[in-house]
Structure 1
Amino acid sequence: MNNIDIAKTYIQAVQTGDQATLGRLISPEVVWHQPGHNQFSGTHQGMAVVGPMLGKMMEVSQGTFAITRADHYMANGDWVAITIEFAGQANGITLKQPGVDLIRIEDGKIAEVRLFSSDQVQEDLFWGR
């Protein structure tokens, strides 16, 4: 699989909750950069940390948080940028906004993830402190 195919498979696995595929695609040593100033913000290292964080995000959003669209996939070397829309409900806020997921692929696995939100203030309120 080329990097675009890996990115598409990753997004589809996120959208369908396919944990087995995510486990195969994401490096155990992944570096995850969660933006903003909320309880999940910061750089998180390794699936042992990232996995429970993603689970807690689903708990906070009562399972509503989702990538609702993935429109464009653009590769530049090891990096793939994906324009997305994400949505969910938490803390009295209905979130729906565009963003960009930037993933670095190394040896066929996702080694690094950087996320970008179009309205970080709203996303911070959504996730809470």
Structure 2
Amino acid sequence: MSEHPDAALIRRAYEAFGKGDMETMGTLMTADVIHHVPGSNPLSGHHKGREAVLDLYRRFGSETKGTLRVELHAVLVDGRGHAMSFHTARADRGDRGIEIQEGLFFTIVGGKVSDIDECTQDIDEEDRFWS
């Protein structure tokens, strides 16, 4: 059974993110992509535009001194331009550590990610970690 192109796109994005390959990440997103981060912490909010989203990802790395690791568990697609991914995120930041389940809901337009809605197992824990 072959993988749906939308699922393959999301897997490529996870692979690039894991390598810190922002150049490849940029090619997988539309210019006007938006990443919505839940919660009430310095990284929360709506990051609009390719450079703003890539800056968010760079900040994930700098804030955790490169310790952020994401283990992808599943990618689901609807065949109409939407995909969902489920992963475990692990990172250290100062004297804090986190291991948390997260999910991303993607909108895909023209073979590129145009919108990312992030969901988390525990918003309060994420806020404590990133604050």
Match of 1:72 among 74, 78, 86: 74
Q: CA RMSD in A?
A: 1.4
1:86 equivalent to 2:86? Answer: no
Question: Residues 63-121 of structure 1: CA distance to partner in whole angstroms, max 9, x if unpaired?
Answer: 11121x11111102211101100010114211001111111111011100111110111
1:40 equivalent to 2:48? Answer: no
Task: Note the residue ranges of structure 2 that are not aligned, 5 or more in a row.
Answer: none
How many percent identity over aligned positions? 20
29-38 or 55-64, which moves further after superposition? Answer: 55-64
- What TM-score results when the alignment is normalised by the length of structure 2? 0.90
Aligned mates of 1:103, 1:65 — CA distance in 2: 21
SS in 1 for 2:90: strand
SS in 1 for 2:41: coil
Residues 4 and 73, structure 1, Cα contact 8 Å, conserved in 2: yes
Task: Flag as ranges the 4+ runs of structure 1 deviating above 3 A.
Answer: none
Aligned mates of 1:100, 1:70 — CA distance in 2: 10
Question: Aligned AA for 1:64?
Answer: T
SS in 1 for 2:66: coil
Aligned mates of 1:48, 1:19 — CA distance in 2: 10
Task: Note the residue ranges of structure 1 that are not aligned, 5 or more in a row.
Answer: none
Residues 22 and 54, structure 2, Cα contact 8 Å, conserved in 1: no
Aligned mates of 1:106, 1:30 — CA distance in 2: 10
- What TM-score results when the alignment is normalised by the length of structure 1? 0.91
Give 1:52 shift.
2.0
Q: How many residues align?
A: 127
